[in-house]
Amino acid sequence: MLGVIKQKAGSTALNSSIIRQSLQRFRPSVSSVRSYAAAAKQMTVRDALNSALVEEMSADPKVFLMGEEVGEYQGAYKISKGLLEKFGPDRVLDTPITEAGFAGIGVGAAYYGLKPVVEFMTFNFSMQAIDHIINSAAKSNYMSAGQINVPIVFRGPNGAAAGVGAQHSQCYAAWFGSCPGLKVLTPYSSEDARGLLKAAIRDPDPVVFLENEMLYGESFPISEEALDSNFTLPIGKAKIEREGKHVTITAFSKMVGYALQAAEILSKEGISAEVINLRSIRPLDRATINASVRKTNRLVTVEEGLPQHGVGAEICMSVVEESFAYLDAPIERIAGADVPMPYAATLERIAVPQVEDIVRAAKRACYRAVSLAAAA
């Protein structure tokens, strides 16, 4: 394989026709307080992702998009709207329903120096391609002693939507976050979506980019700086969405919005909550988290994924290792119920963290409510 890969230096102008020929084999006859600097306009997360793709594909001919229904249908969630018309079928490739097939083709293209953006219609379908993501993309740089870079982005909606059952409601932040060689990003706002996706496409290593279906239509203020074509956000750096002094709340993706709502409710009861938008799961911004905990002396972690071996568990361990002496209360961990996602709407709501769960946890951490153990 190395003999083939060494040819990539002279193959930067590789025609996408090679990719299309490979695909053809598979084809049968998708603040409260926010520091948005001088926000001048609103933009949906959908439009933010779309604009990031347009700009990066315009700036670099090696960037291309592939996935189910990304071309003619313009994406299952219309993230790729207008891209086929603008860039043509050589750079916006509709694939058959074979995640293992097109993920593998994407990794091979990245070996040759192209920059594929592989869309999964939902990250639940990435299970069909996990061998290529983990064993081919994530490990090649290490196993080749740095000779092979794999500049590929795997993106799509992640986590619970609404009424789509157990197989389509999983959060993969902890799954992929445990794998060395991957970078795992979880945007919340439109600024996050633009800045992080552009950074992911430019990164020389494989990036898992976990979006949220429920946020696509949400509008957020966006600054002129974030609208600049050169705007990127640093991978591995969290953002303090709201400053506070009594309790730290960490969250990512859709849960950031819930945490901000909880912080607003808590403020009316005299509790000042600091909300951290993680943005990056791997690498994790341990420095920002620990600095906040050393200030507030309390921590609540929030995620919609499963609790065991979750992102919150890793954050808890980081704080115990680095800031245990600063804690004035036990850490509170809010996560999804430890069950497959129920289909019934009433049970589904119970299985996913709600704003009131965060409020109660913060109150417990601040000794404003009777603990669950004491009430038992």
Pairing of strands 273-277, 239-242: antiparallel
- Name the 3-class secondary structure at 148: coil
- Judge whether 213 and 75 are in contact, CB under 8 Å: no
Catalytic machinery residues: 99, 168
Residue with tokens 């920059």: 115
- Judge whether 114 and 14 are in contact, CB under 8 Å: yes
Q: Shortest CA distance to 231 belongs to which of 56, 16, 39?
A: 56
Beta-carbon contacts of residue 25 (< 8 Å; ≥ 6 apart)? none
Q: Measure Cα distances from 93 to 34, 85, 105, 179, 376 in Å.
A: 37, 12, 12, 28, 57
- Cα separation, 204 vs 217, in Å, equals 30
